[in-house]
A = this chain, B = another copy of it.
């Protein structure tokens, strides 16, 4: 990551219900995600990371906008939108799903929450699934309502998240299994809490259902967390790349399919339902993919990651792929990356080089770095 400029607040980009709190707590950088400001770091990306992996952190992820699909045809539409077989999904369950277009390209990778037999939330990555789902519902004649409800998630993440969660919600929270959610009331604020998150650490997502309570919810959680050293933080590129978690827009786009992301397990071709992309994905499953996601360890210290965004991945002077996400891992003391590479060169241990975008390929220079294909994740999940 390299700082290039000032961000200018405009009224075109939405502010989260926690925006004022993030300003008050010293958020130093923002990006834009789902047409809303997304906090990027407080102390520094690395200091925030240590709070996350050693303690407990609170993130404003209101940018995870929800698409609510409700009505008699809701279950049928949600299944139409997702290659994953949802027939056994229970009320109270979350599912990580790929949404695909007719060519099998990835539209989004939300977490699905089944609120009732006829009511669902898609908790989104950065694309307007609201328009996609509305378009399919309208032209396909589904009897549903599709809309963006007033719902703004926070993430409470880190090894002490369960301790803070119990202080807030009582021991009942401990009964919540991984990828399950339940309703809780906190000082009169009706919340949905799921045992999910984008950190690879133990954690929860807390879905506020009334934006006007944003500041109060933030402070209530901060107060409960203070004895446990809670820190404000943000989705950590360092931790999520360690964990092999994908970022839509960086590691995958509409140009990629789930098989390229090694996520064939999220495509259930055997199910009866004719989800969007089924025929295309069946062909891809049969033919195999030409490129796929791979982990890379890259030589060089802390400074190696800078400049390697979208770097070319080179083997024998030929470009065989591209870095999609890169970071220094403070815990591994190594630069690590996710890359989309030619499938035939994705085997663990393959020696490669990476070189910055724009630099002529195959022309070794000072910023060419040796790399090696590594198994994913770099650091396993610690969600229990």
Q: Are B325 and A11 touching (Cβ within 8 A)?
A: yes
Chain B residues whose CB sits within 8 angstroms of the CB of A20 once the complex forms: 358
A30 at interface by CB-CB < 8 Å: yes
Q: Which of A1-9, A162-170, A179-187, A286-294 lines the interface with chain B?
A: A1-9
A363 at interface by CB-CB < 8 Å: no
| A29-B7, A131-B127 known; A249-B12 Cβ under 8 A | yes
Q: What's the least CB distance linking A327 to chain B, in Å?
A: 10
What per-residue 1/0 map shows which CB atoms of A276-305 lie under 8 Å from chain B? Answer: 100000000000000000000000000000
Q: What's the least CB distance linking A261 to chain B, in Å?
A: 15
| A131-B127, A276-B138 known; A9-B4 Cβ under 8 A | yes
Closest partner residue, chain B, to A322 (CB atom): B11
Query: A19 to B1, alpha carbons, bound, how many Å?
Result: 16
| A131-B128, A139-B136 known; A8-B23 Cβ under 8 A | no
Query: A136 to B41, alpha carbons, bound, how many Å?
Result: 39
Q: What's the least CB distance linking A347 to chain B, in Å?
A: 24
Complex partner residue of A11 from B28, B41, B130, B250, CB under 8 angstroms:
B250
Closest partner residue, chain B, to A35 (CB atom): B249
Interface of chain A residues 234 through 254 with chain B (CB within 8 A): 237, 247-250, 254
Interface of chain A residues 5 through 42 with chain B (CB within 8 A): 5-14, 20, 23, 27-32, 35, 40-41
A324 at interface by CB-CB < 8 Å: yes
Q: Are B8 and A40 touching (Cβ within 8 A)?
A: yes
Q: What's the least CB distance linking A141 to chain B, in Å?
A: 8
Q: Interface SS of chain A: helix, strand, loop or mixed? A: mixed
Q: Are A4 and B7 touching (Cβ within 8 A)?
A: yes
A149 at interface by CB-CB < 8 Å: no
Q: Are A5 and B31 touching (Cβ within 8 A)?
A: no
Closest partner residue, chain B, to A357 (CB atom): B15
Interface of chain A residues 84 through 142 with chain B (CB within 8 A): 101-102, 107, 126-140
Q: Are B4 and A250 touching (Cβ within 8 A)?
A: no
A51 at interface by CB-CB < 8 Å: no
Q: Are A6 and B7 touching (Cβ within 8 A)?
A: yes
A202 at interface by CB-CB < 8 Å: no
Closest partner residue, chain B, to A129 (CB atom): B131
Chain B residues whose CB sits within 8 angstroms of the CB of A372 once the complex forms: none
Closest partner residue, chain B, to A99 (CB atom): B131
A309 at interface by CB-CB < 8 Å: yes
Closest partner residue, chain B, to A326 (CB atom): B11
Q: What's the least CB distance linking A348 to chain B, in Å?
A: 24
Query: A9 to B133, alpha carbons, bound, how many Å?
Result: 30
Q: Are A131 and B107 touching (Cβ within 8 A)?
A: yes
A195 at interface by CB-CB < 8 Å: no
Q: What's the least CB distance linking A343 to chain B, in Å?
A: 21
Q: Are B5 and A29 touching (Cβ within 8 A)?
A: yes
Chain B residues whose CB sits within 8 angstroms of the CB of A11 once the complex forms: 250, 309-310, 323-326
Query: A205 to B231, alpha carbons, bound, how many Å?
Result: 47
Between A2, A131, A237, the greatest number of chain B beta carbons within 10 A of the residue's beta carbon is seen for A131
Closest partner residue, chain B, to A250 (CB atom): B12
| A107-B131, A135-B135 known; A10-B5 Cβ under 8 A | no
Q: Are A1 and B8 touching (Cβ within 8 A)?
A: yes
Query: A127 to B132, alpha carbons, bound, how many Å?
Result: 11
Cross-chain pairs A/B with CB under 8 angstroms, 20 sampled:
A1-B8, A1-B9, A1-B10, A4-B9, A4-B23, A5-B7, A5-B30, A6-B29, A8-B40, A9-B309, A10-B31, A11-B309, A11-B326, A12-B126, A101-B138, A102-B134, A131-B135, A133-B135, A139-B139, A140-B140
> Top 3 nearest A-B pairs by Cβ distance?
A135-B135, A32-B32, A128-B128
